[in-house]
Chains A and B, each alone.
Chain A
């Protein structure tokens, strides 16, 4: 009897949790597929009787503007893809080496470097956004992909080093030791043994880095203007402009959230591991 009551309570709470988690996002998706007029009815129809892709199509096809222009949405999408992939790639290349050194090699100041990485992760972006602006302006990297990719290293690189370091440290070092005895160098052991063994770790850290740079708003908002404007910045512009079609914003929001949301669902297990490793250990 008591067991039954407990189960009913648990299932009720489970339903509340799912509803609370999914309902706002579901409403965004429903809105993005609706006709505006259908959303005006009182009382509101939560499940629309008819759907449309018009809000999505309008993002890709520039109606009424001068001919030949790529739509704003496509241009920003392109910028986002370039910046997120390049930032991830750069951080992974630099970070793998540093993480390996911090996990395996004994050298002066390695603990200090570890502390610097962690401290760096904690620095509020708002504290460096102003001097970085001055710096980017002086080297003419404002509103460029390269400028943004470099700035993104400030939060992706510490994250990558931090997560990969704990991943490398969790791999037993016997195989490497054996390879070293057989005459392989440290770098040889890294590429032939550690990296292949760490494939799942590398992928999950790369996913983290990609999501972080894809979602970033503040730096992109301040440092890009036209040429390198990313998707989050465009969505921000859409939603602060009065009179812009809400449903188009909803459609753009759904599309912009799809890559990180899908990646998070696919790599769920690794993400959860990474979150706990990143927080319990740093």
Chain B
């Protein structure tokens, strides 16, 4: 018996499976099985408030979904929110990384501080910006007023366009450091010899920037863009706290819609269909990201 145990513990193929098993069970139990459950749930009408009507409806929920103006609206808003956020996170992130990559006195302070928005709880970020956007005491109004840009305090969050823009601003502030940190690390891994060789060959500063710097940070930038798009689609608390989805559903992100349908209206089947459909859309960037990352690991 003891000999058998020793043998199992010393054979890499048995031991490997045994010590991976607890994690695997956890991942299956709380991640993969629920994900599959979510799909089967989406094929049912399951209203907790009207249990007698529960029935299998096949793809009925999905057909309903594609005709649901409010869902389609939230999808469009989420897409706008994510793409504009990612665009600014990319521009600002790369810009910040390029500045922090320079060698000057005090660069360490900025490199250190940049991590602050990343580390903050997203709920505190939401509450913080809500406070800044406050119509009566908000720092935004005070700031714009003192600069002379506005002559009266504005109720920003009552304006649909401004509300969406301000939520994007809050998101960009929190998410930009991630891109900046990734790009900065990529910049620092470019060997200096490359630049020197290009210099010897007579390449101008701009040529060096485009042919060396941009080309070598491109893979990292792609990773950041994919991840930030995925995360953008999952944003919930920013809109939930700052605007509650209003005014006139102008900031109603998909996650808010799913939450309202599932946990307020108690339509679990329909909510699951919404969530599942959204995840399927996210599968495209997720697979692209996983392929890139997985290749990097298996190769080395």
Hey, which bits of chain A sit against chain B, CB under 8 A?
7, 10-11, 13-14, 17-18, 20-22, 24-25, 27-28, 31, 39-40, 42-44, 94-95, 97-98, 100-102, 105-108, 110-111, 113-120, 122-135, 150-151, 153-154, 157-158, 161, 166, 185-187, 211, 214-215, 217-218, 221-222, 231-233, 235-236, 238-240, 246, 249-250, 253-254, 256-257, 260-261, 263-265, 268, 271-272, 275-276, 279-282
Which of B136, B137, B271 sits near A130, CB closer than 8 Å? B271
Residues of A contacting B250 with CB < 8 Å?
Answer: none
In the complex, how many angstroms separate the beta carbon of A99 from the nearest chain B beta carbon? Answer: 9
Cα distance, A159 to B115, chains bound together (Å): 19
The verdict on A118 contacting B137 (CB below 8 Å), with A113-B20, A132-B30 known, is no
Contact A217 B237 (CB under 8 A): yes
Contact A129 B275 (CB under 8 A): yes
Cα distance, A107 to B127, chains bound together (Å): 48
The verdict on A120 contacting B31 (CB below 8 Å), with A100-B19, A126-B234 known, is yes
In the complex, how many angstroms separate the beta carbon of A79 from the nearest chain B beta carbon? Answer: 14
In the complex, how many angstroms separate the beta carbon of B101 from the nearest chain A beta carbon? Answer: 10
Contact A107 B22 (CB under 8 A): no
- B100 located at the interface, meaning its Cβ lies under 8 Å from any Cβ of chain A in the complex: yes
**Which residues of chain B from 99 to 154 have a CB within 8 Å of any chain A CB?**
99-100, 102, 104, 106-107, 109-110, 112-124, 126-132, 134, 136-137, 139, 142, 145-146
Contact B258 A282 (CB under 8 A): no
19 more CB-based (< 8 A) A-B contacts, given A44-B142, A130-B268, A256-B121: A14-B107, A18-B110, A21-B110, A21-B116, A24-B129, A97-B23, A105-B13, A106-B12, A107-B12, A113-B24, A117-B23, A122-B230, A128-B31, A129-B275, A187-B9, A221-B237, A236-B126, A260-B119, A260-B121
The verdict on A214 contacting B38 (CB below 8 Å), with A151-B30, A249-B131, A261-B116 known, is no
Residues of A contacting B22 with CB < 8 Å?
Answer: 94, 97-98
The verdict on A17 contacting B114 (CB below 8 Å), with A214-B121, A280-B220 known, is yes
In the complex, how many angstroms separate the beta carbon of A277 from the nearest chain B beta carbon? Answer: 10
Cα distance, A208 to B132, chains bound together (Å): 29
Residues of A contacting B241 with CB < 8 Å?
Answer: 236, 239-240
The verdict on A118 contacting B113 (CB below 8 Å), with A126-B255, A128-B34, A130-B275 known, is no
Contact with A along B164-196 (1 / 0, CB 8 A): 000000000100011001100110000000000
Contact A280 B296 (CB under 8 A): yes
- B77 located at the interface, meaning its Cβ lies under 8 Å from any Cβ of chain A in the complex: no
Q: How many residues of B contact A (CB 8 A)?
A: 102
Contact B102 A118 (CB under 8 A): no
Hey, which bits of chain B sit against chain A, CB under 8 A?
6, 9-10, 12-17, 19-20, 22-24, 26-27, 30-32, 34-35, 37-38, 41, 96, 99-100, 102, 104, 106-107, 109-110, 112-124, 126-132, 134, 136-137, 139, 142, 145-146, 173, 177-178, 181-182, 185-186, 219-220, 223-224, 227, 230, 233-234, 236-237, 240-241, 244, 254-255, 258-259, 262-263, 268, 271-272, 275-276, 278-279, 282, 286, 289-290, 293-294, 296-298
Contact A24 B173 (CB under 8 A): yes
Contact A157 B23 (CB under 8 A): yes
Residues of B contacting A18 with CB < 8 Å?
Answer: 109-110, 113
Residues of A contacting B276 with CB < 8 Å?
Answer: 127
Pick the 10 closest A-B CB pairs, nearest first: A107-B16, A264-B119, A44-B142, A105-B16, A282-B293, A131-B37, A98-B23, A97-B19, A215-B121, A127-B279
The verdict on A282 contacting B296 (CB below 8 Å), with A186-B12, A253-B127 known, is yes
Contact B278 A126 (CB under 8 A): yes
Contact A21 B9 (CB under 8 A): no
Cα distance, A106 to B233, chains bound together (Å): 37
Cα distance, A63 to B220, chains bound together (Å): 52
